[in-house]
Amino acid sequence: MEDLRELYQDIILDHNKNPRNFRVMEDANRVVEAYNPLCGDRYTIYLKLDGDTISDIAFTGSGCAISKSSASVMSTVLKGLRTADADGWFEKFHTLVTKGASGEGAIAIEEFGKLAAFSGISEFPARVKCAILSWHTMKNALHSDVSTVSTE
Ligand code: ZN
């Protein structure tokens, strides 16, 4: 279990230091701001939708290691997916960071891939908003034209 925790820590540190898809997307057709006032995390999420497929996803901004690495891992998971599948991942990730990877209604940790790195967040309620911020923003970007999302 110790090794697993270290692996998860490494994933978060790596994505915080070298975030993937961290750039302005000039030809995005959805651009949504994310702000978490509790922590000061502030990001812009860019989506390029091709029909109901997320053909590209990127983000810029700054915040704590949890929020930045979460946005980075999310971008790698969702790129190329259909919106219904992205919604499915949102639900699964939400369950993971609010309820953890064990207990009633839990989803097997093996199904999460790199997202499993955030399974320990459920033990730190104050950080759940950091982890879920980019996901909420992405979901809103998929389903509306709103320009600002806060987790408040
Ligand atoms: Zn944060």
- Alpha-helix residue ranges (DSSP H) falling in 1-152: 2-17, 65-78, 83-99, 125-143
- Whether 27 and 77 have beta carbons less than 8 Å apart is answered as no
What's the token pair of residue 99?
Answer: 């309820």
How far is it, in rounded angstroms, from Cα 105 to Cα 99? 9
Give distance in angstroms: CA of 118 to centre of ligand 1.
13
Q: How close is the Cα of 40 to the center of ligand 1, in Å?
A: 6
Q: What is the pTM of this model?
A: 0.90
Instruction: Determine the distance separating the centroid of ligand 1 and the alpha carbon of 129, expressed in angstroms.
Output: 7
What's the 67 CA to ligand 1 centre distance in angstroms? 5
For range 36-46, the mean pLDDT: 96
Check residue 8 and give its pLDDT. 87
pLDDT at 53 over 90: yes
What is the edge-to-edge ordering of all strands in the sheet holding 41-50? 53-62, 41-50, 30-36, 148-150
Domains of the chain: 2-150 (3.90.1010.10)
C-alpha to C-alpha distances, 61 to 12, 42, 133, 141, nearest whole angstrom:
17, 6, 12, 16
pLDDT reading at 76 higher than 80? yes
State the distance from the centre of ligand 1 to the C-alpha of 150, rounded, in angstroms: 12
Ligand 1 centroid – CA 116 distance (Å):
18
